[in-house]
Structure 1
Amino acid sequence: MTESKQKAKPKSKSPGKSPGKSTGNSSGKSNDTTIKIAFVVNEVATEQDNYTTIRLARKAVARGHEVALIGLGDFIYDWQDGICAMATMSKIAEFADDTAYLAHLQDPEMERTRINLSAYDILMLRSDPAAELTTRNWAPSSGLLFAQLASLDRTIVLNDPSQLTDAVNKTYFQGFPGSVRPATSITREPDQISRFLDAHGGKGVIKPLQGSGGQGVFLIDEGNRQNLNQIVEAVIRDGYAIVQEYLPAAAEGDLRMLTLNGRPLKVADTYACMHRFSQTEDHRSNISAGGGVEMVEPDETALRIAEIVGPKLIDDGMYLTGLDIAGDKMMELNVDTPGGINFMEDLSGVDFSGAILDDLERKVRLQRQYGGTLTNRQLAVI
């Protein structure tokens, strides 16, 4: 991404230093809990240095934690040892930046190591199912099934995989109160899409039911309505289409607000919230689609939306999520790979990833103190 229009200026605080207490987390660098943490990604070879996963993993190894990265095709169910994986093991060290750390992980000389997940405290699911639709459609569901088995042992799996099986599909979004959602239709019938558009002023947004990063997203209005049949054909090629009412506020971009344990992530006085906006005539504001970003304070409307969706996130064990908000509606909910932490930290100097690691360490301490009597769902959002 080219961030040629970052309005927010980084604060004077040094990146990586926490300025104070975070909501629901301890402050600063925690040294009393050394943990083993594994991150599930699509493939280590396809990770990029602006991914939140890489930032979290780099900060974790700097704390002295044992970190492993597992691709969706790297799991093993062993008849004797249970859930294992061929993992890329990170050395424990201080790396200059995310680029240097990723180069370490992707070193051609790096060999994978067979690990037993029952020895790991945390398994963070950070793969993007949309990236697997055309070439490895077996991978996302397989990864979730292995994760579900891992959660039956002592490993804390986040987000909770029993619910993530349903939450990865955009139909999950329809389970939240209608007051925070745009009007929506999900169908493969072109005439039903036309009917929806006619009922909403001839304007709407069409996208694949399964997708992310602004891929396959089309804004329909009078200027391109004549191309509707071709657009619908392209969207439904691999499944259902979702069509939503157009939100005028989306013309100014959207907010990406991160939630942790069902509540907005906040460190000291700073929310993990950024404004994403298009820098071209393309309407998409996703960072992966070339949008710009700036740190912002969420307004009362955005905080109200977070408050409304919080109970369901907690009930479903959705530990870390990304709410995409335009005006008074939530456009999308990212439960797979909620990202943006690296951009937020670089713009603000606030250690959001450190706050997440503090919280993971706290969960591991609680699990140990309760002797394994807490369920994975409870630990996911406690």
Structure 2
Amino acid sequence: MRIAFFVNSIEGEAAHYTTAALAVAAMARGHDVCYVTPGDFVLRPDDSLMVRATVLPSKKYRKTDAFDAALKSSEATIETLDTAEVDVIFLRNDPSLDADDRPWAAHIGAMFGRLACERGVLVVNDPAGLALAQNKLYFQGFPESVRPTTLISKSIEEIRAFIADNKKGAILKPLQGSGGKNVFKIASPDDANLNQIFEAVSGEGYLIAQSYLPEAKAGDVRFFMMNGKPLVRDGVYAAFRRVPAKGEVRSNMHAAGTAAEAVINDQILAIAEMVRPKLVEDGMFLVGLDIVGDKILEINVFTPGGLPDIAALHDIDFSQEVIVALENKVAIHKAYAGQLSNRAIATL
């Protein structure tokens, strides 16, 4: 099969990204791989949907370093493909990275992904589901029992009152954002930096204020779910603990966090079971939950990362499981010849 990975940009990709691991795993199983970016779609007058894809020659790469180098070299060529020639479009972009400098690009994946679905391409995660998740407001649709107490507002008075009600402090972050950018811990409503932080973060739009969870000092657990179920092989879960750098409140790997083994207990599995129904309903094939204690801090449905970190910790490449799951979906998709919706197949 041919898999097209949709990303923000070719130059922005890196060898340690989960997308690279998935691409290498796909090629190791004999599949063709190409990359597509927001500017690469073409809807022609005859209503055919084309992509100007970055295509790599069919070969097997032992390491993602070599794959990433080839992706950015003359080995990769631009080919115009009809989406009918593509079996899977895997949406792996981060909309928040384009929100400021290229706002037109932020939601292209979901927009053209829906058009590709209509033309018979399997698209994951389901683009209609992703359209519901364009910012962190999506998180509020999950059960209250798994979420920290949360306020969403652009009012400094509302935020100050919320912090006063949460004696352990609060975390402030933009409603639209990722990678730990502009995430701050506020200890009290009288914090001298609150006004300055509010001005900096509110310039990006609405703010989220969440009650601070003291357990977060030890980091959070990135826990992968696939097809609405925990991703697991031989009793090992696709999960790791993201340990914040000294003096940091953020555990994100982009913010100098480090990976450590995670203990997966009944509490974490119960949280996963609680969010399962909505993930399935929304067609969320591959998802990363960020868990602290008995709460989820975030649900990453666009570009969950960390599979290479898990492989380094446990010597298990879960990328293979992901590609095998896509193989099965493509077989079902072809067998039913359009009788099942993209959203249904995405989490079968």
Choose the corresponding residue for 1:177, options 126, 134, 143.
143
* 1:90 equivalent in structure 2: 56
After TM superposition, the structure 1 = structure 2 runs for residues 270-349 of structure 1, keeping only pairs within 5 Å, are 270-349=236-315
2:118, 2:225 → 1: CA distance? 25
For residue 105 of structure 1, what is the aligned residue in structure 2? 71
Q: Is the 8 A contact 1:126 1:336 kept in 2?
A: yes
- Pick from 152, 164, 184 the counterpart of residue 118 of structure 2: 152
Aligned to 1:226: 192
State whether residues 271 and 297 of structure 1, in contact with CA within 8 Å, keep that contact through their aligned partners in structure 2. no
Query: What TM-score comes out, normalization by structure 1 length?
Result: 0.89
User: How far off its partner does 1:371 sit?
Assistant: 2.3
- Give the whole-Å Cα distance in 2 for the aligned partners of 1:134 and 1:351: 34
Please list the CA deviations of residues 209-263 of structure 1 after superposition, one character each: whole Å capped at 9, or x if unmatched: 0111111100111498111011011111121111100011111100000000111
Could you tell me which amino acid in structure 1 is paired with residue 97 of structure 2? Answer: A
In structure 2, the residue matched to 1:164 is 130
Residue correspondences, number: 348
Task: Give me the TM-score of the superposition, normalised by structure 2.
Answer: 0.97
Decide whether the 8 Å contact of 1:37 with 1:122 is kept in 2: yes
Aligned counterparts of 1:187 and 1:103: Cα–Cα separation in 2: 44
RMSD: 1.4
Of 349, 355, 360 in structure 1, the residue corresponding to residue 321 of structure 2 is 355
Q: Give the structure, 1 or 2, with the largest relative contact order (CA under 8 Å, sep 6 or more).
A: 1
Note the alpha carbon deviations across 1:10-51, whole angstroms, 9 max, x for none: xxxxxxxxxxxxxxxxxxxxxxxxx11101000111101111
SS of residue matched to 1:79: coil
Correspondences of 1:112-123 after superposition (within 5 Å): 112-123=78-89
8 Å contact 2:164–2:189 — kept in the other structure?
no
The residue number in structure 2 matching 1:21 is none
| 1:57 alignment counterpart | 23
2:347 maps to which residue?
Answer: 381
2:106 aligned with 1:137: no
Structure-1 separation of matches of 2:229 and 2:199: 39
In the alignment, is the contact (CA less than 8 A) between 1:270 and 1:297 conserved in 2?
A: no
Classify the secondary structure of the residue corresponding to 1:138.
helix
AA of the residue aligned to 2:137: T
Which sections of structure 1, spanning at least 5 residues, go unmatched? 1-34
Aligned equivalents of 1:299, 1:119: Cα separation in 2: 43
Task: Show CA shifts across 1:318-368 (max 9, x none).
Answer: 111000000010010000001100111122111200011111000111112
How far 1:178 moved relative to its partner?
0.4
Structure 1: how far apart are the matches of 2:345 and 2:236?
Answer: 25
User: Counterparts of 1:284 and 1:234 in 2: how far apart (Å)?
Assistant: 17
For residues 113-139 of structure 1, the C-alpha deviation after alignment (integer angstroms, 9 at most, x for no partner) is 111112211110000111112210110
Deviation per residue, 1:248-296 (Å, 9 max, x gap): 1111100000000111100111100101111221121111111111122
Q: Percent identity?
A: 41
SS of 2:240's partner is strand
Q: Give unpaired runs (5+ residues) of structure 2.
A: none
Q: For residue 6 of structure 1, what is the aligned residue in structure 2?
A: none
Distance, in Å, in 1 between the alignment partners of 2:65 and 2:92 is: 18
Out of 31, 34, 45, the residue aligned to residue 68 of structure 1 is: 34
Match of 1:195 in 2: 161
1:19 counterpart residue number: none
Distance 1:84 1:222 in 2: 53
Name the CA distance, whole Å, in 1 between partners of 2:304 and 2:169: 28
Report the CA distance shift for 1:63/1:202 in structure 2 as closer, same or farther (over 3 A): closer
Separation (CA, whole Å) in 1 of partners of 2:168 and 2:265: 30
Letter in 1 for 2:152: I
Q: Is contact 1:160-1:376 (8 Å) kept? A: yes
SS in structure 1 at match of 2:70: helix
Cα 1:90–1:109, aligned 2, differ >3 Å: closer, same or farther?
A: closer
Q: 1:224 to 1:261 in 2, by over 3 A?
A: farther
- The answer on 1:367 being equivalent to 2:333 is yes
1:208 pairs with 171, 174, 184, which one? 174
| 8 A contact 1:62–1:92 mirrored in 2 | no
CA distance in 2, matches of 1:340, 1:318: 17
Which residue is equivalent to 2:14?
48
* Alpha carbons 2:169, 2:187 under 8 Å: kept: yes
